[in-house]
Amino acid sequence: MSPDSAEPPARKAFDALHLFALGGFAVAEPLFHVLARDATFFVARSSRPIDLWALSVAAILLVPASLVVVELLVGLLGERVRRGVHLVLVALLAAAALMPATKSAGDLPYLDLALAMGSGLLAAFLVARWQPARTLLSVASPAPLLFAALFLWDPSIVGVRRSQPAERFPTADVETDTTVVVLVLDELPLASLMNTDLTIDADLFPSFARLASESTWFRNATASAAFTNQAIPAILTGLLPEDPRHLPTARFFPKSLFTLLGGSHRIEPWESMTALCPWHLVSRPPPTEELGRRWSSLFADVSLIYAHVILPGAITAELPSIQDAWGDFGPRPDKVGRRRLSEDQRNDRSVLFRDFVGALDGSEEPGVFFLHVRLPHQPWIWLPSGRRYDGEVQIEGLRPDRSWGPEERPTILALQQHLLQLGHVDRLLGELMARLESTGMYDRSLLVVMADHGTSFETGELRRRLSESNLHDILHAPLFVKEPFQREGRVDDRNVESIDVLPAIADALDVVIPWPVDGRSPFETGVPERAQKTIVAKDGTPYRVDGAFPERWPLIELKERAFGIDPRWEDVFSPGDHADLLGKRLEDLDVPRRSAGRVELFRPDRFAAVDLETGPVPSYLRGTLWVAADGIRVAVAIDGVVRSVTTPWAEKSGGKSTFVALVPDGAFRAGANRLEVLTVDADGRVSRLDQVKR
């Protein structure tokens, strides 16, 4: 029986099949394609096989089943009404299926949506008027099942679904009773820590400076990969990344620091984005996580991914980014050694760090304490004091291709936020070192502090993908190794890569790694230094660059331009020429009563009820000026005192400009705070701005 000759009940069945087929092309296929390409998304959230099966069923059934129900309910009003609604749904699903293909159609806003909707209307017309179109949809109805099968049996997804027995991960036979503590920070360029004299900035980062003075600082150390899912396995295995389809799990990397010392040491892995420690080696078994909570987190992130795939570019530009991460798009639990943080701790990566510090219990039993924490990785929401800030926090000036725009001011703002968050990380590092000392572990432990890779803040350059100009800032990451009982620091500028970290640990412990590795110990003497460095791109392509210590550091040059030589935190909060204004009372600045223009602020109500005990502070202030940006600065006064000065930048149209001010948390008092925004012209004249509501 063909769809055309079917009676109304059978026609309804054929129409349901058509929605099922179109739903597969509109929802399941694009979603499965994206998720299979970046399966680390599932590793990062410790997804289980049942999660993948549930997601597959939902992707192929949820949308078409809902639409069928809608269509049947509308059908109570009559068959003609149902058929009309059916054609509307066909048009919408066809447009959604074609939307990913139209998103590259020119720069005009919503042109992609117009093309997709036009194609969807054409598809509905063909279904209504042309029998072969309806037959084609009937034949294509099994396609969603095929899409699900291809997804579930994709090699990367199979790697997530299948766990391995303990026998696959034999531990090495070693003899050492030294505890190993490894801290891997995320997205931290070495230049962020350094002054123009290439030493650690002790004024801004005293804990890092102290660590450098008591350890071996490998100042020419670089990442072996620019992305976390490849960089962390390289650190823990000593192997260069080979196949980009290999997930950062024990199944793909069975030989690592954990299996090297798992037979002799207590293993405490705190992995945020990877699952490289075999389950049977974890010293404490993971509790069972509530299924509903796990699924709500999974489906929330999947929904955002699908929105990025299917919505017009003009809309997705306003959505939270899904770049440079595998699932940390909205509130979701971080992973702690195959365990999850409590629901109240979901957004606080500092809690993850402090829980790790609390696990350092001073036991005489040798242990491996490993933490990878996504700090100071964006989102940047922390101040050096340890307080969080809120507001319309975003990365200004970052273009859709993940490169910085031509305006330097938004890039400097991003660098400000990064450095402020790094100040918080320095405070956490101080807590880690203090804990090691108070438990008696500091002297007798091998301590490694490093970052998996850096990032670039160079105007016009890509933020994370490698280029000749941004190479040093992305590749050069901190690496400090404090050997047991070492108290005197030294700087080593030889060519070192992150694949050398595992051999360095083994060398310091006098342990032989019983499998071949690509790295070699930087403590080894009498071996010629490598002439080149090898870096593996996201697609698995190896690149080789000169291994010599760099002569130029673009990020240090940008820091000096923005904040001056040897900056203080005051300079980081208010870059540029500000010394004449900060701390001044408005009554002493001869500010005219007449307004010089208007300013629209994001949520100025936050200043009316500041909570200095438990809540975030309103340090991030974003606004739009109805004033040209040329030659002016913006000053922010709290309770009549200038607390921050910033430089606006012009918007694309409308004669308006944008500014973001970062106000020190010490400027606020509990409760109500009076906020005033002013402009400062090139001659130093200060004028008030009228605040308008959104």
Rounded distance between C-alpha atoms, residue 635 and residue 330, angstroms: 32
Question: Residue 1: its pLDDT value, please?
Answer: 47
CA distance 140 to 127: 14
Averaged pLDDT score across all residues of the chain: 84
Exposure of 385 by Cβ count < 10 A (0-12 exposed, 13-18 middle, 19+ buried)?
middle
DSSP string, 416-448: HHHHHHHHHHHHHHHHHHHHHHHTT-TTTSEEE
Which residue in 363, 336, 339, 338 sits closest to 349, CA to CA? 336
For 47, other C-beta atoms within 10 Å of its C-beta total 23
Please state the φ and ψ torsions of residue 625, each to the nearest 5 degrees.
Answer: -105, 140
How crowded is residue 275: how many other Cβ atoms within 10 Å of its Cβ?
26
Helix (H) or strand (E) holding 155: helix 155-161
Residue 215: which of 478, 440, 504, 487 has the closest Cα? 487
Q: The sheet that has 641-646: what strands, in order across it?
A: 641-646, 633-638, 675-680, 686-692, 595-601, 620-625, 657-662, 649-650
Nearest to 662 by CA among 304, 430, 420: 420
Q: Number of H helices and number of E strands within the chain?
A: 20, 21
- The backbone torsions φ and ψ at residue 162, rounded to the nearest 5 degrees and listed phi first, read -105, 120
Residues 658-677: tens digit of each pLDDT: 899 999 999 999 999 999 99
Ranges under pLDDT 50 in the chain: 1-2, 4-6, 287-288, 324, 326, 328, 330-347
Residues 45 and 300: beta-carbon distance below 8 Å: no
Q: In what order do the strands lie in the sheet with 446-451?
A: 266-271, 367-376, 180-186, 446-451, 479-482, 216-218, 490-492
CA distance 254 to 261: 13
CA dihedral (329, 333, 334, 339) positive or negative: negative
Q: Supply 83's token pair.
A: 């058929």
Domains of the chain: 8-161 (no CATH), 166-286+337-556 (3.40.720.10), 574-692 (2.60.40)
* Residue 216 token pair: 């071996």
Q: What is the pTM of this model?
A: 0.83
Tell me the per-residue pLDDT of 508-561, one tens digit each, with 9 for 90 and over: 999 999 899 999 999 988 788 899 998 888 778 888 889 899 888 889 999 999
Closest by alpha carbon to 348, among 369, 371, 331? 331
Please tell me the predicted confidence (pLDDT) of residue 614: 83
Please give the C-alpha separations between residue 75 and each of 69, 81, 126, in angstroms, as whole numbers. Answer: 10, 6, 22
Is it true that the peptide bond before 233 is cis, omega within 30 degrees of 0? no
- pLDDT of amino acid 318: 56
Cis before 376? omega within 30: yes
Q: Which DSSP state fits 166?
A: G
Q: Which residues contact 529 (CB under 8 A, 6 or more apart)?
A: 494, 495, 547
CA–CA separation, 97 and 208 (whole Å): 51
Q: What is the 3-state secondary structure (H, E, C) of 192-256?
A: HHECCCCCECCCCCHHHHHHHHCCEEECCEECCECCHHHHHHHHHHCCCCCCCCCCCECCCCCCC
Give every CB contact of residue 132 below 8 A, 6+ residues apart in sequence.
none
SS percent in the chain: helix, strand, coil, step 5: 40, 15, 45
Which residue, among 585, 549, 573, has the nearest Cα to 644 in the 3D structure? 573
pLDDT of residue 345: 38
